[in-house]
Amino acid sequence: MKTIITLLLVAITSTAFSSKYEETMKTNIDKLYELRTSGELQALANQFERIAQAESDQWLPGYYAAYCYIRSTFLDNMDADSKNEQLDKAQQIVDKLMKAYDSESEVHTLQALLYQMRITDMASGARYSRKAAAAIETAEDLNPANPRVYYLRGSNLYHTPKFFGGGAENARPELEKAAALFESQKSSDPLMPSWGPHHNKQLLDLCNKAE
């Protein structure tokens, strides 16, 4: 009887912790897309990092911490040094995720996004565009249904000169595939990554106007 009671208590406690984790994550993920300053996103990244420390067997808290640092560079007209500082913080987290969760497609798409954010001129474009393309290819091998694979590849192609194999015409099929997958996965797990559809639509509209 004592064994049964102990097992029941463990099960109830585990369920409570799981519920609390999911609730906290959902709240912070919702907040992520509402924040409008880099400082707020950096503070939220710290919250996700604390969750990652407490839930060491989960990859999503670290993933979102890194994404917050990356997303913070989109805002407040951040200068190059400040952007690189935030991207370096993101890279440190992604490096850890790569070691522990190398088979997770989303980790590789996050790395691809990070590489793309490093592109500031022709020299960095040549270096990081190749790195991003390799990360995207790995992400596709791991999960061909990941819409961020085709969104990021389309973005990479759109911003690559046509004489190097890029341009709107080559980007469009990738962005269209991403749009279809984003649409079909709207009701998936609320804790899983969902970023990309808005910018994907913007790029697709630009591709259509370029015809």
Residue 43, domain extent: 1-99
Domain CATH for 146: 1.25.40
The total domain count for the chain is: 2
Same domain, 84 and 111: no
Per-residue burial over 175-185, b = 16 or more CB atoms within 10 Å of its CB, e = otherwise: bbbbbebbeee
Same domain, 16 and 51: yes
Same domain, 205 and 133: yes
pTM: 0.89
Nearest to 99 by CA among 70, 69, 59: 59
pLDDT tens digit string along 32-87? 999 999 999 999 999 999 999 999 999 999 999 999 999 999 987 889 999 999 99
Same domain, 151 and 47: no
Same domain, 17 and 66: yes
| Position 1 pLDDT exceeds 60 | no
pLDDT for the residue 18: 65
Please tell me the distance from the alpha carbon of residue 103 to that of residue 141, in angstroms, as a whole number: 10
Cβ burial, residue 3 (10 Å; 0-12/13-18/19+) = exposed
pLDDT tens digit string along 147-206? 999 999 999 999 988 888 899 999 999 999 999 999 998 767 899 999 999 999 999 999
Same domain, 129 and 165: yes
